[in-house]
């Protein structure tokens, strides 16, 4: 499969049969190179309800019919909006036709703000372990450093981890180095930085210091084959 990074926390996974988008925040994401009106999607995976993660999910799912997989409260909310949403919860795994999704916890918050300013709380935030053909990607979502990352790394053979480094809203680079040690992925890709002034970071300064696994400062649109 081919895995690419598209700015902020946007990840695209292309397998022989499916196009999978994770946290497709495209409109309003100045770093993103995708077009919400043409991007292909069979599946959309969401780590939590914040608008910089749900992003263009509604429009993309309405256009493509993509199935949306999210933690329960967010899935129920999106289901009521007419999307084909599959709800899960922390610690649960389910095998879909595209692969297996397991949600991990994340220490963060989760709410969705509609265009009129109405805020809906959308349950727990999470991280996503996506396993396809014996390869596992771990998208940590938005989170602080938390020690269960070590357990998650010990229990799963993780090929590629997307770790937030932006600071302010999530862990920053120093904590993200500890996270990389604990998750023990073969490749470590930093995400959730440079989108907004408060989360400016130099990705290569982080990836140069990654000790466990290979730090990969993926450019927007850059792809890695697993
Ligand atoms: Ni968030
Ligand atoms: Mn975020």
Q: How confident is the model at residue 137 (pLDDT cuts 50, 70, 90)?
A: very high
Task: Say which residues have a Cβ less than 8 Å from residue 144's Cβ, sequence separation at least 6.
Answer: 107, 108, 170, 171, 175
Element (H, E) at 22: strand 19-22
Does pTM top 0.95 for this prediction?
yes
pLDDT, tens digit (0-9, with 9 covering 90-100), for 138-161: 999 999 999 999 999 999 999 999
SS3 content of the chain, % helix, strand, coil (to 5): 20, 30, 50
Task: Please report the pLDDT score of residue 219 as a whole number.
Answer: 98
Residue ranges covered by each domain of the chain: 2-221
Task: Please report the pLDDT score of residue 146 as a whole number.
Answer: 98
Domain covering 2-221, topology? Metallo-beta-lactamase; Chain A (3.60.15)
Task: Please report the pLDDT score of residue 120 as a whole number.
Answer: 97
Which ligand is in closest contact with the Cα of 52? 2
Q: How far is the CA of 171 from the centre of ligand 2 (A)?
A: 11
Q: How far is the CA of 110 from the centre of ligand 1 (A)?
A: 6
pLDDT, tens digit (0-9, with 9 covering 90-100), for 52-68: 999 999 999 999 999 99
Q: How far is the CA of 38 from the centre of ligand 1 (A)?
A: 25
How far is CA 123 from each of CA 44, 77, 109, 116, 163, rounded to the nearest angstrom?
Answer: 18, 10, 8, 21, 22
Mean pLDDT score of the chain? 98
Q: How far is the CA of 169 from the centre of ligand 2 (A)?
A: 7
Q: How far is the CA of 50 from the centre of ligand 1 (A)?
A: 5
Q: How far is the CA of 7 from the centre of ligand 2 (A)?
A: 11
Concatenated DSSP letters for 52-72? Answer: HHHTTHHHHHHHH--EEEEEH
Percent of the chain scoring above 70 in pLDDT: 100
The mean per-residue pLDDT over the stretch 103-126 comes to 97
Q: How far is the CA of 61 from the centre of ligand 2 (A)?
A: 20
């Amino acid at each position: 499969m081919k895995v690419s990074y598209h700015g902020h926390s946007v990840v695209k996974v292309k397998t022989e049969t499916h196009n999978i988008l994770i946290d497709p925040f495209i409109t309003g994401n100045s770093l993103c190179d995708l077009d919400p009106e043409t991007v292909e999607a069979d599946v959309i995976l969401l780590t939590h309800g914040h608008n910089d993660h749900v992003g263009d999910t509604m429009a993309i799912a309405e256009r493509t019919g993509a199935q949306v997989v999210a933690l329960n409260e967010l899935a129920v909310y999106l289901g009521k909006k007419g999307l084909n949403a599959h709800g899960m919860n922390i610690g649960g795994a389910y095998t879909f036709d595209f692969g297996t999704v397991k949600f991990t916890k994340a220490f963060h918050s989760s709410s969705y703000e509609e265009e009129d300013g109405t805020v809906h709380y959308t349950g727990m935030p999470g991280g996503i372990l996506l396993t396809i053909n014996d390869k596992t990607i771990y998208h940590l979502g938005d989170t602080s450093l938390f020690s269960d990352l070590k357990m998650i790394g010990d229990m799963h053979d993780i090929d590629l981890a997307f770790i937030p480094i932006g600071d302010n809203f999530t862990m920053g680079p120093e904590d993200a180095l500890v996270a990389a040690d604990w998750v023990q992925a073969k490749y470590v890709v930093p995400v959730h930085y440079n989108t907004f002034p408060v989360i400016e970071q130099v990705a290569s300064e982080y990836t140069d210091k990654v000790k466990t696994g290979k730090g990969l400062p993926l450019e927007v649109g850059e792809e890695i084959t697993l």
